Amino acid sequence: MNYPNGKRPVVDKAVSPAGSTSQGYGNRGMTLEEDINATNAFYRSTGRGLIHKKPTPVQIVNVHYPKRTAAVITEAYFKQPSTTDYNGVYKGRHIDFEAKETKNKTSFPLSNIHEHQIAHMEAVIKQEGICFMIIRFASLGKTFYFSAESLLESWAKHLQGGRKSISYNYIEEAGHLIPFGYQARIDYLSIVDKLYF
C-alpha cells in the first residue's frame, strides 16, 4: 500500500522497550520535519490552518551555467540567522513554532536553541501569538508539544547557571504528548485547540 503522497512506507524494524508507549511504529523512517510538512499540507488542504515552513534566506554568490536553460548555484551563504521553523495563521491567531529532534533519551540540550530564536519567541508572545516547540525524542519515538513559556523559563534558569538541558521528565510533565496519526501525522493543532480555543 502507498501513502496518499505516492511514497511507499518504510517499515520501522526497531523494537520498542518493554512497557513503552513508543510511537516508533508510526514514524516509518520519516524525519520530524517531513512529518510536520505532511501535517501542514493536510491542514491546508482541508482548510483547518495555514501554516508553512519558513525558507532560510540565502545570498547567492556564484552561479555556473552548464547549459543556457540550466543554472547551478556553486556558492551561496545564509544571509541572516533564521527565527523559528514554522509560522502561519490558525483561527485568526498568529502561530509560530520551532521543531527539534534529539537522539538523547533523558534530556533536550538547550544548545539546540539560539538566542535570536528565544528573542523571537518572546516577541511573538508579547504580541499574543501562539508560540511553542515541537520536540521529538527520536530514540524513544515520542513527540511533544512544549510551550514557549516553559522553554523561556528553562532558558532563564540556564542563564543563571542552571541546567544546560531540559530533562525528559520535565518535558513529559509540562508538555503534551502528540500521538502519531495517519493524515495529520503530528496533529499539534489538536493541542492548540485544547490550550487556546
Q: Which residues are annotated as a binding site?
A: 83, 85, 98, 117
Which residue shows C-alpha cell 554568490?
61
CB contact set of 98 (below 8 Å; sequence gap of 6+): 84, 85, 86, 113, 117, 121, 133, 134
The length of the chain in residues reads: 197
What is the spatial distance between Cα 67 and Cα 131, in angstroms, rounded to a whole number? 45
Q: Concatenated DSSP letters for the chain?
A: ---TTSPPPPP--PPPPTT----HHHHTT--HHHHHHHHHHHHHHHTS-EEEEPPPPEEEEEEEEEETTEEEEEEEEE-S----SEEEEETTEEEEEEEEEE--SSEEEGGGS-HHHHHHHHHHHHTT-EEEEEEEETTTTEEEEEEHHHHHHHHHHHHTT--SEEEHHHHHHHSEE--B-SSSTB-HHHHHHHHH-
Give binding residues for Mg(2+) as ranges. Answer: 83, 85, 98, 117
**Residue 88: all three cell numbers together:** 502561519
